[in-house]
Amino acid sequence: MSETETREAIETTNPATGRSLKHYEYMTEEEVKEAISKCHQAFKTWRDVSPEDRAEVIKTIGKELIKAKDELSQLMTDEMGKTLVQSRQEVDLCAAICEYTAEIGPNELKAEEREMVNGNRGRVSYAPIGVVYGIQPWNYPGYQVVRYSIACMMTGNAVLLKHGSNVTGSAKLLERIYQKTDIPDGLFTVLVINHDQSDEVIKHKRVRAVTFTGGPDIGRHIGQLATAELKKTVLELGSNDAYMVFEDADIDEAVEACVKGRIYNNGETCIAAKRFIATEKVYDEFREKFVKTMSEVKMGDPNDESTELGPLAREDLRDNLHEQVMKSVENGAKIACGGEIPDGEGFFYPATVLENVQPGQPAYDDELFGPVASLIKAKDNEDAMRIANDSRYGLGGGIFSKNEEGAIKMAEKYFDTGMVFINTFGIADPAMPFGGVKNSGYGREHGGFGLKEFVNIKSIMIKQ
């Protein structure tokens, strides 16, 4: 490419106004190769740093995130439309991940002594593998990145990031924040690249593993591509999580949590509450209160402290969501509230409830990535569980019941999903494993489990 030619570029847009924010040029093939090489060289330095010293650096990253909280929060809100209040909460969560990982990391990564069956001495160690490539979505511009990168860096790996194009500014800011600490230059590297370039990164000999969060179709493509190269993957592929309101539930508590679980992060959350299955005994009361509360959700400027629901991140996402609503209605669903694209600038969509939701409708079968709730009636608790499991997804879900022990038993024995929330809605916690089953993917992050996804679990056997 000559100096006079213009590169292809990403243009970020403020979804609250529809106006352009900034342009970012794609990297050239040579720049990508140089970045990967530099990241690998940084790994060779970082792997020799003790876990204890790595932990101290990671604590510093958490502190730098808090120092940059105002700037990062505002940029995340400007780029993807989450409320500013929730952007600040996201930065706090990122800092908590750093603190938690630094606290548990050295102990989790300690070599383990074992007595072998043949009487010899055994030792299991956890060695870093090299460069881990993360392909991350836009809905949590900070958290999605911190979630995988801090775990990988704690284990001694290096990190490449391809972020959602519409939050490229957030990715670059995170890179600058990380670079303010004592990590080797290039250890955390952002790649501003297109999908074809990304496929080549997966194939690169210096890339040892791939982690992806996004939709199942792209997840299959990435998983197949990485598997063909014999590289391990962790895939988190979304869901249509079911929240069950059992016969003995506290309805007011259930309504409050379910509404929050549906509209949090503008409803654009893989682990959001999406299908609401209430038993016949409590259905009418739950439906009346749930629809009323959803209809009163305040939508507007995400910078306003009182706003509960901001815009969707992109216009095409809003169009897709509305099409799913309309197709569900065409197939028998009814709109209890919302369901209309408002006039004015920005990509707003109101809190919406669909009832008479049945199999064959997008509202039942698919993931609705926005503030649209699917309301379903079940005969009893067991029927509610049957409906909840009647999904190709299995990331999270919830149970509302005053019988806590009974709910725990149902969750452990029968709920075919990776995470279950009892009498609350799903928010990630660094101490608990995060991930799903079925079309929601495989592998785990958080809770110490993520630390061992991308390590060489090495057996060392010594003759006694």
For residues 104 and 102, give the distance between their C-alpha atoms in angstroms, rounded to a whole number: 6
Within 160-207, residue ranges assigned H as helices are 168-179, 195-203
Phi-psi region of 191 (alpha: psi -120 to 50; beta: other; left: phi over 0): beta
Q: In terms of Cα–Cα distance, which of 53, 55, 57, 1 is closest to 26?
A: 1
**Contacts of residue 458, Cβ cutoff 8 Å, sequence gap at least 6:** 124, 125, 126, 127
Q: Is 445 a catalytic residue?
A: no
Within 360-439, residue ranges assigned H as helices are 362-365, 381-389, 404-413
For residues 410 and 137, give the distance between their C-alpha atoms in angstroms, rounded to a whole number: 32
Buried b (16+ CB within 10 A) or exposed e, 24-51: bebbeeeebeebbebbbbbbeebbebeb
For residues 135 and 357, give the distance between their C-alpha atoms in angstroms, rounded to a whole number: 33
115 forms beta bridges with 121
Q: In terms of Cα–Cα distance, which of 51, 138, 168, 140 is closest to 101?
A: 51
Q: Is 270 a catalytic residue?
A: yes
Contacts 24+ apart (CB under 8 A), 115-122: 116/461, 119/464, 120/461, 120/462, 120/463, 120/464, 121/461, 121/462, 121/463, 121/464, 122/459, 122/460, 122/461, 122/462
For residues 370 and 351, give the distance between their C-alpha atoms in angstroms, rounded to a whole number: 8
Residue 372 parent element (H or E): strand 372-378
Considering the candidates 98, 152, 258, 270, report the single residue annotated as catalytic.
270
Q: In terms of Cα–Cα distance, which of 113, 80, 136 is closest to 266?
A: 80
Residue position matching structure tokens 């439906």: 287
Within a 10 A sphere around the Cβ of 330, how many other Cβ atoms? 10
Q: In terms of Cα–Cα distance, which of 427, 436, 365, 434 is closest to 395?
A: 436
Considering the candidates 236, 268, 367, 453, report the single residue annotated as catalytic.
236
Catalytic (active-site) positions:
236, 270
